Structures are given as C-alpha cells and as structure tokens.
Structure 1
Amino acid sequence: MRILGGILLGSMLLSTGSAFAEDDASELKALKTRLRQLEQKMEGQSRKEEARAARESARQNTQMAAKAPVPFDPCASGKLCYKGVTFTFGGWVDLTGIYRSRNLASDTGSVYNFIPFPQSKNFNTDESRFSARQSRFSLLAEAEVFANTHVAGYGELDLEGAAQTANSVATNSFNPRLRQASIEIDRTDLGLHFLAGQSWSLNAPSKAGIDPRGVDAPGVIDFESVPGFLAARQPGIRVWQDFGPEFKLAVSAENAQTSFFGGNTPLVGTPAVGPQGVLNPNVLVNLTGPGGSFFNNANNVSLNHVPDFTVKGAWDPRLGPYKLHVEGWAMYRDFYDHFNFANHDVNTVSFGGHFSAEIVPKLLELQGSASHGALGRFTATPFPDATLRQDGSIQPLPITAFLIGTVWHTTPSLDLYAYAGLEKTKATFSNVGTVPFGYGNPLYNNLGCNIENSPAATCNANTSQVRQYTVGFYDTIFKGDYGAIKAGVQYSYNQRFAFEGVGGAPKTDDHIVMTQVRYYPF
C-alpha cells in the first residue's frame, strides 16, 4: 500500500508539474506575440515619422531653392564655352505672308494710323506680299567674374532696317538692324542688378520679374503687335533690386524722343501749327535732316534735353500651381521746342500696369494691360506725343490704351490665341480767330474724306482711336535635337476712327491675314 501510495503521489506531482510547464509556455508565447505586435507598431510609427520628416525637409528645401538664385552652369549641355564665358545662341529663320484688304504699302508691320479713308485710291486696292525680314539672330554671353557677381552681354539683330538702297524689286536688300545691345551686372548676394545699353523700355511688360531682354508681347505675327501693347527699345541705364523672391523694384533713365503732330509744309504767317498740323518753319522741334555723326539725313531726330525716367514695381506671388505676374509703372517725360526766340518745355507723367496669369496651369493663360498719358511714340497706332499752340507752347496728347488676350495650349504642340486692343486720344487744340490749331480740331475740313480723288486738303481728319480684334493659331510641326519648325495663321479686323470735323467724323477699316513659317535652330 505504501508503494501504491507513493506511485500515486508521484503521478500527481508529475501531472501538476506538466500543467505548470504548459501554462508557462503558453504565457511565454503570448508575451512573444505581444512583443512582435509592439515592435511592428513602433516600426510603423517610425516610418510615418521618417516620411513626415522627409516631407518637411523637402518643403524647406523647396522654399530655400525658391529664395536662392538659380546657380549659373558655366557650360550647360547644348551651349558653347570659351575661356570661362558661356555663349547661348538664339533666333530663327522666318517667312511671313501678308494680305491686307486696304493697301497700307507696308511690310510685316501694319501701321494702323495709315489705314486709308475712301478718299485715297489705296482704300479700294488690296495688297499681298511675302517677307523674310522678321528673321532674327541673338547671342547671350555670360560669366561669373567674381563670387556672387554675374555678368551678361546680350545682342540681337533682325532685318527690319530699310536703308535708301533697300527695295523689293530684285535683290530685296533689306539691311540688318540693331534691336538690343546691353551689358547686365548682377550681384546675387545683394539681389542688385544693373544694365546699360539698348534694351526694351522699362514700361514694356514682362512675363516675370524685371526682364530687359524679353517682353510679354501678344503672340501674333503682325510686327506692329496689337493696339494697347506699349513698348519701345531705347538706349539707357537701369537699376533694380530684389525684395525677396516675389517683389522687384526698378528705375531707368532712357533716351528721349518726341513725336510732334505736324507736317513739313510751312504756313504763311507766324502760327506754329495750322491746318493739318503743319509746322511753321520758325519752330524748331526736330533736328531736321541732321546728317551729322552717323545720322541718316533723310530722318529727323527730335529736340530733347532731358531723358525719360521710369520707375516700375513687379510682383510674382506664389499661388500653388498657378503663375501670376503683376506690375505697375510711372514715366516722367519732358517735351521741348524753340519758337520766336524762346524755348518751351512741358513735363508729363504717364502710368500703366500689366498682368499675366495662368487660369488653368499649363493650359490657359490670360494677360492684360492698361496705360494712360502722353505715350504716343510707344503706341502701336502710332499717335503723336504732342501738338503746339500758335505761340509755340506745347500741348501733350493724352493717350488711353487697353489690351486683353488669352492663349489656349490645346495640345503640347498647338496654341490658339485671341486678343482685343484699343488706343485712343482726346482732341487737343486752340484757335486764333478762324484759324484752327492742334489735334482733333472740329474746324478741320473732312468734307472729302469719303470721296475718292478729292483734294488732299479736304480730308484733314485726325485719328481719335484705333481698335483691333485678332485670332490665330501657332503649331509646332517638328521638334528635336535639330531645332523646331513652327507655323501659324493670324486674322485681325482693324478699325480707325477720326475726330469730328467740318463734314463729319470719317472712319475706315482693314481686314488683315498673315501666315508664318519659322525654323528655330537653337
């Protein structure tokens, strides 16, 4: 019995030990499972934290990159380098086809102020021609001369020059013309820029920031662009400062020229300006036929003694994927003449603004401009800047100009565009008895403006405003390492209105169609 009792007791002890062992194994297994779950959770949180840190780092890097100037690549792919200078070539070979329903006797640029009234034979004749004169060549030379000091020299030529020997009969010998030639010095650490030479005037609109070498011009074929687009290329100096990545402020002093209203036939007597704006021979507004140092004696250079001064602010805010550029400017001008032993001058201030925006990123763009002031020589019409009173004193002509346009990038290769533009002025005149003076005078004789072959003196109409509505497309036919070939078509409807005079307020219009094929080798 004792033996049997011992066996039973031993069995019980073994069974209890086994149960305890099984319980311990179970708990250990559960602990291991829980530990793995905790490790996986911590790993997931760690990955999320790393991803968040990476996103934050990328955001900060993007902001820093946006604020920092783009580093200059001394010899980027596709560019030519020589002795530390990088050369970038630009330009194109162009063929433009031109048709006008009224004969302007003009090449690639339509001078809207010359659209003929029915009095002229040109009103009833159209014109058509081809021209290669919009072909262009440009060269940009850049170098890092010191730490944080970047220097760029830029030159640009086209074939829109027309010397006395130029013609369209046999050789079409149209000469090259200087468009731009400037040097720019940039201090990247200070955000300070300096430019000297011939470039786009500061009041010409930019696509972004302050860009002296390019403008936000309507993408049309007509060389005179769209009414409402104000621009000129003038020699001068310019300084501008970056205030952060979004705002820039610039000031310039540029070569002054004045377009006075008047002809070349003198009046009998002493008035400075009489019917049709004819100038008295005693009034000096132009250096007529200067023929001096490198001036063509067939051209006039206006009498000026103060440069044009312009100040401009440009803002490029960051709106997510949308691009926006807004700018505003003001210009000081001085007009100057000499008449009857006395000098006269008058100061004017003009102003304007421009915007360019992406309505749909990479798909739809919108641009607009507005300006007001004595801006005649900058207009597409073009208008005169000023007229004269009978005593030789100067009356500036106020110009108001508007432009709106849109470009739709329908495909990567095809762009459709539409623009509307307006330029107008106010009648500015004075009278001495029954003799009319100035611009837009209601005493001017317009009786013959709508009668073909009527004497020229019976159509003294002065342009009051010019309007244009234009549509077109531009298509990239081929593009590759060899360059690109592009082609486009433009149609515009143009209207010219005159001031009311004796016999009414004549008006005229012109339908213009242009085609273009260009090869961009660079």
Structure 2
Amino acid sequence: MRIINYGLMLGLLAACSGQARAEDNVTSEIQALNARLKQLQQRVDSEARRTRQVEAAQSKAVAMPATYKALPVDPCAAGKICYKGITLTFGGWVDLTGIYRSRNIASDTGSVLNFIPYQQSHNYYFPETRFSARQSRFSVLAEGNADPETHLAGYGEIDFEGAAQTANSVATNSFNPRMRQLSLEIDRTDLGLHFLAGQSWSLNAPVKAGIDPRGVDAPGVIDFESVPGFLAARQPGLRVWQDIGPEFKLAASVENPQTSFFGGNTPTVGTPAIGPQGVLNPNLQVNLTGPGGSFFNNLNNVSLNQVPDVTVKAAWDPRLGPTKLHVEAWGLYRQLFDRFNGANHTYDTGSFGGHVFAELVPKTLDLQLYGAHGVLGRFTATPFPDAAVAQDGTVLPLTITSAAVGLIWHATPSLDVYSYAGLEKAKANFANVGTVPFGYGNPLYNNTGCFTENTPAATCNGNTREVRQITAGIYDTIYQGNYGTLKAGVQYSYTQRLAFDGVGGAPKTDDNIVMTQIRYYPF
C-alpha cells in the first residue's frame, strides 16, 4: 500500500513537472514573438522616416530653381562653384607668345597690317623680335534661374592688351588689364526669347552655332589681329534674338557707333595723314579731341555720332546627323557724321556679310568661310578707315570687300593643323579742288618717295588698297588632366600690303611673321 502511495505521488509530481515545462515553453514562444514584432515595428518606423525625408526633399526641390531640380543631391557639376543658387564657371589661360617679323611694325601680339612699312621707312630694313604675356585672359560666367522659365547669366572677361601711357617694355612691362566683355543675358525658355545688355562681340561677328552672345568663331591663329577677311569688334549695346524652331534664329542689335575718318583731323591708326591737311577748313569737325574729362583717355578721340549701329542677323543650324553645319547672314546700318561751316553732314550706309562653319569630315576636318562688303573699315584686321572727307566737309565713305577661308585638320585627338587665306580690299573715294587732291586712293597723291629710304614723308602717301595673307600653323595639346591643359603652337604667315596708284607709281610691301605660343588652361 505504501508502495502504491509512493507511486501515485511520483506520478503526480511528474505530471506537475510536465505541465510546468509546457507553460515555460509557451512563455518563451510568446516572448520571442514579441521581440520579432518589435523588430518589425522598428523597420516600419524606419521606412516611414525615410519616406518622409524623400517627400520633404522632393517638395523642397519643387520650390528651388531648375538647376537644383536636375541635381537635388549635389547641384554643382565638376569644375564649377555654386553659391546661393548661382553657378560660377571660371575660364581663361596663362599665355606666352613669341613674335618675329621681317619688317619692324612695332606691334605686340597683334600685327597691325597697315603698319607694314614701305621702302621709304627705316623700319622696312630690320626685323623685330619680342615676347609677350599679354594675351593671358581670365573670365567668369555666373548663371542662375529666377524661375523655371527664366535663366539669367552674367559674363565678364579681361585680358592684358591695355596700354596706358605708363605701360612700357623697358623695365616692369606693366601693361594694364582691360575689359573685353561684360554683359547680362536673360533667356525665356518658354518663349524662345533672349536679351543681352552690355559689352560683347558685335552681332556681325561670326559664331559657330546659333546666336552665341559670348563666343566668336575666329580663325584659330596665334596673331591677335587674326586674319584679313575676319571682321569683328566688341561694343556695348543691346541685343534681342528669337528661336524660330530648333534650327533657325533671328537677332537684332543696337550698338555703340564710332567712325574712323581718314584725311580729317584724326587719320586712322596706322595710316599717314594723306593730302594737303593745311587746306582743310578749320570749321570742319569730325570728332571730339582729348575728351579726358569725360572718363576717356585724353589722347584718344571720339567721333561724332547721333544714332547707334543697327544690325540684323539670321542663323541656321540644320540637323545633318553627326555633321555640324552653321550658316549665318547679317546686315548692318551705320550713319557717318561731321559738321562743316555751321551745318551737319550725314551719310547713311548699309553693309552685309555672312559666315559658314562646316564639318567636312566629322571630328576630323573643319571649314570656315567669311565674307563681307560695305562700309566696314573699323571692323577690319588691316585696319582700313571708314571714310574720308572732302574739302567742303562732304563725307566720302570707303567701301570694303573682305573674304577669308580656313581649313582645320584634327590630325590626332591632341594635334590640330590649320591654314588660312584672306584679303581685305578698299574702293577709292576722293574729290579734288582744282588740282588739290582730297579723299582716299586719290591718283594725284605723291608716291614718288615710297621706294627710297629716308625720303620726306610728304613724298610717300601710298594709301593701302589691299591686304592679302596666307598663314599656316600647328597646335598641340601637350598635357590634359586633373591639373588643367597645356597647349603649344607655332605659326607662319606671309602678308602683302598693296597701295593705290599715285604720282610715281603704286608701292607695295610685305612681311614674314613667325609666332610661337604656350598656353596653360587651369580651368
């Protein structure tokens, strides 16, 4: 009986123990489930926070300019600086140019071709050699968006081609910076409408695509005066242009006018004062002399002008697959002005021109064509005057015909080989009072002394009729990487200066020019 009681007691204890273990297992499972639920809840909360952050960033991007929409995480592209919604792009280079000319024209990096001397001058008989760092340049472009459809851009560019009276080549070579471009551009993408205010390349200057407000498709030569046949200037003014479809643009501008007179009070730079200046009536005025009190250099003259230069231009960029083609044509209105014997004289002129840039072989061979005709003297590389004056104050405009062609061979990804040929030609315009000659290209002018060294200046009046040039060069990229780009080139040009026929004949001269260049582009 006692054994039975012990058995019952052991069975009861075993049952209680099994029940306790079962209850412990259930409790553990519940605790594990609770822990799992807590982990899941943490994940849900984390995903919810991430979703709220993304929605907040997207909402902020909608309120920001379009520049930030494209790159909500990092709006600045490589090589740019962003500040308060403005993107800054720096440009420019450090330059050293070497110059050799067979005739001494006392010019720096730009060869003023109307200075090439005749045999009458000592300078005809000895060359010149110099180095110059003055083509070094610095630029900055600031861009931002006032709203998704309105883009603003400010651009400034300087070089060191300024030459104040304190600048010289004797000791410190302290040539001063000068403003090349300084402009504001406003673009309305919804309207395809663009505005420019400030100083920029004149609208008749050629570009490589569309209506480029800041660039110019200049011949890729080292000489700062470029190639005869390439016409350009930088002037303050206003410009507006309209996109008409994806390929066509139409533009108009009003720009600061200036007239370069010959044979008046101030001959064109590089051209001697031709004609009997003593008989020009003192009541004739073509410019304002020494306007230093008006923030001009008192050694410079400012012509009389009452209306701005007006230019219209059309540009066409057809889509030809991988081949690029740009065609443009322009027309220019200018008014020439002088005052004589209490009366104003005006002469309205019209000029026209065009430009073609074409990839003959994509990424391998490029073609540049330039052409113009009209009263364009101040835009020329020679440079020619715009007009002469008669003894009675009549304005005598000078018509210029110019043309140039260039081929650029991209021989390797780093090496370019180029060649250009160009000319600028003037049409004579003159008047006589009896046997007293006036004007430009007058056959009565005395050229007898142009062929003999050291003859009096009055016996060598040969007005430039035409300037021709052929040039060729190479330009190589020596280094391109994280520290910028280093390039170097060498160029040769042969130039002829031909004069109008006068008493004693038609003088002519030439110049052989070799230039070298090293440029470092840090940006």
Alignment TM-score > 0.5, same fold: yes
Which amino acid letter does the alignment assign opposite residue 318 of structure 2?
A: P
Match of 1:4 in 2: none
Match of 2:245 in 1: 244
Shift of 1:500: 0.2
Larger CA deviation: 382-391 vs 506-515: 382-391
Q: What is the rounded CA distance, in whole Å, between the counterparts of 2:284 and 2:315 in structure 1? A: 41
Which amino acid letter does the alignment assign opposite residue 396 of structure 1?
A: P
Q: 1:260 to 1:391 in 2, by over 3 A?
A: same
Shift of 1:249: 0.2
Q: What aligned pairs does 1:495-514 form with structure 2 within 5 A after superposition? A: 495-514=496-515
Q: What is the rounded CA distance, in whole Å, between the counterparts of 2:276 and 2:195 in structure 1? A: 47
TM-score, normalised to structure 2, is: 0.84
Q: What is the rounded CA distance, in whole Å, between the counterparts of 1:278 and 1:489 in structure 2? A: 49
Task: Say which SS state the counterpart of residue 448 (structure 1) adopts.
Answer: helix
Match of 1:312 in 2: 313
- The answer on 1:229 being equivalent to 2:216 is no
Which amino acid letter does the alignment assign opposite residue 492 of structure 2?
A: Y
Q: What aligned pairs does 1:94-493 form with structure 2 within 5 A after superposition? A: 94-262=95-263, 264=265, 274-275=275-276, 280-493=281-494
Task: Say which SS state the counterpart of residue 495 (structure 2) adopts.
Answer: strand
Q: What is the rounded CA distance, in whole Å, between the counterparts of 2:309 and 2:367 in structure 1? A: 30
Shift of 1:292: 1.9
Task: Say which SS state the counterpart of residue 229 (structure 1) adopts.
Answer: coil
Shift of 1:293: 2.1
Task: Say which SS state the counterpart of residue 324 (structure 2) adopts.
Answer: strand
Shift of 1:177: 0.4
Is the Cα contact below 8 Å between 1:102 and 1:122 reproduced in 2?
yes
- Give per-residue Cα distances to partners, 1:218-276, cap 9 Å, x unaligned: 0000000000000000000000000111000000000000000026599xxxxx98437
Shift of 1:321: 1.4
Task: Say which SS state the counterpart of residue 437 (structure 1) adopts.
Answer: strand
Which amino acid letter does the alignment assign opposite residue 518 of structure 2?
A: V
Q: What is the rounded CA distance, in whole Å, between the counterparts of 2:302 and 2:227 in structure 1? A: 26
Which amino acid letter does the alignment assign opposite residue 481 of structure 2?
A: G
Q: What is the rounded CA distance, in whole Å, between the counterparts of 1:278 and 1:474 in structure 2? A: 52
Q: What is the rounded CA distance, in whole Å, between the counterparts of 2:292 and 2:201 in structure 1? A: 26
Which amino acid letter does the alignment assign opposite residue 335 of structure 2?
A: D
- Give per-residue Cα distances to partners, 1:321-359, cap 9 Å, x unaligned: 110000000000000111111110100000001000000
Task: Say which SS state the counterpart of residue 408 (structure 2) adopts.
Answer: strand
- Give per-residue Cα distances to partners, 1:454-511, cap 9 Å, x unaligned: 0000001100000000000000000001100000001000000000000000000000
Is the Cα contact below 8 Å between 2:242 and 2:250 reproduced in 1?
yes
Which amino acid letter does the alignment assign opposite residue 239 of structure 2?
A: R
- Give per-residue Cα distances to partners, 1:371-421, cap 9 Å, x unaligned: 000000000000000111221011110000001001000000000000000
Q: 1:335 to 1:264 in 2, by over 3 A?
A: closer
Q: 1:390 to 1:499 in 2, by over 3 A?
A: same
Over aligned residue pairs, what C-alpha RMSD do you find?
Answer: 1.7
Q: What is the rounded CA distance, in whole Å, between the counterparts of 2:343 and 2:131 in structure 1? A: 49
Q: What is the rounded CA distance, in whole Å, between the counterparts of 1:307 and 1:351 in structure 2? A: 17
Q: 1:394 to 1:369 in 2, by over 3 A?
A: same
Q: What is the rounded CA distance, in whole Å, between the counterparts of 1:186 and 1:104 in structure 2? A: 44
Which amino acid letter does the alignment assign opposite residue 172 of structure 2?
A: T
Which amino acid letter does the alignment assign opposite residue 255 of structure 1?
A: N
Which amino acid letter does the alignment assign opposite residue 296 of structure 2?
A: F
Which amino acid letter does the alignment assign opposite residue 300 of structure 1?
A: N
Is the Cα contact below 8 Å between 1:386 and 1:395 reproduced in 2?
yes
TM-score, normalised to structure 1, is: 0.84
Is the Cα contact below 8 Å between 1:262 and 1:277 reproduced in 2?
no
Q: What is the rounded CA distance, in whole Å, between the counterparts of 1:411 and 1:425 in structure 2? A: 40
Task: Say which SS state the counterpart of residue 114 (structure 2) adopts.
Answer: helix
Q: What is the rounded CA distance, in whole Å, between the counterparts of 2:91 and 2:278 in structure 1? A: 44
Q: What is the rounded CA distance, in whole Å, between the counterparts of 1:238 and 1:388 in structure 2? A: 32
Q: What is the rounded CA distance, in whole Å, between the counterparts of 1:278 and 1:117 in structure 2? A: 26
Larger CA deviation: 385-394 vs 99-108: 385-394
Q: What is the rounded CA distance, in whole Å, between the counterparts of 1:309 and 1:454 in structure 2? A: 44
Q: What is the rounded CA distance, in whole Å, between the counterparts of 2:263 and 2:70 in structure 1? A: 51
- Give per-residue Cα distances to partners, 1:125-169, cap 9 Å, x unaligned: 100000000000000000011121000000000000000100001
Q: What is the rounded CA distance, in whole Å, between the counterparts of 2:414 and 2:233 in structure 1? A: 30
Q: What is the rounded CA distance, in whole Å, between the counterparts of 1:321 and 1:113 in structure 2? A: 42
Task: Name the % identity.
Answer: 76
Q: 1:249 to 1:279 in 2, by over 3 A?
A: farther
Gaps of 5+ in 2: 1-66, 268-272
Q: What is the rounded CA distance, in whole Å, between the counterparts of 1:414 and 1:229 in structure 2? A: 24
Gaps of 5+ in 1: 1-68, 267-271
- Give per-residue Cα distances to partners, 1:12-44, cap 9 Å, x unaligned: xxxxxxxxxxxxxxxxxxxxxxxxxxxxxxxxx
Task: Say which SS state the counterpart of residue 381 (structure 1) adopts.
Answer: coil
Task: Say which SS state the counterpart of residue 428 (structure 2) adopts.
Answer: coil
Is the Cα contact below 8 Å between 1:273 and 1:389 reproduced in 2?
no
Q: 1:500 to 1:113 in 2, by over 3 A?
A: same
Q: 1:395 to 1:245 in 2, by over 3 A?
A: same
Is the Cα contact below 8 Å between 2:281 and 2:391 reproduced in 1?
no
Which amino acid letter does the alignment assign opposite residue 135 of structure 1?
A: S
Q: What is the rounded CA distance, in whole Å, between the counterparts of 1:209 and 1:511 in structure 2? A: 36
Q: 1:432 to 1:205 in 2, by over 3 A?
A: same
Match of 2:19 in 1: none
Is the Cα contact below 8 Å between 2:264 and 2:388 reproduced in 1?
no
Is the Cα contact below 8 Å between 1:265 and 1:278 reproduced in 2?
no
Q: What is the rounded CA distance, in whole Å, between the counterparts of 2:485 and 2:278 in structure 1? A: 49
Is the Cα contact below 8 Å between 2:265 and 2:285 reproduced in 1?
no
Which amino acid letter does the alignment assign opposite residue 430 of structure 2?
A: F
Is the Cα contact below 8 Å between 1:249 and 1:312 reproduced in 2?
yes
Which amino acid letter does the alignment assign opposite residue 296 of structure 1?
A: N
Q: 1:395 to 1:479 in 2, by over 3 A?
A: same
- Give per-residue Cα distances to partners, 1:180-239, cap 9 Å, x unaligned: 000000001111000000000000001000012010000000000000000000000000
Match of 2:18 in 1: none
- The answer on 1:87 being equivalent to 2:95 is no
Match of 2:52 in 1: none
Q: What is the rounded CA distance, in whole Å, between the counterparts of 1:276 and 1:327 in structure 2? A: 42
Q: What is the rounded CA distance, in whole Å, between the counterparts of 2:141 and 2:367 in structure 1? A: 29
Which amino acid letter does the alignment assign opposite residue 114 of structure 2?
A: N
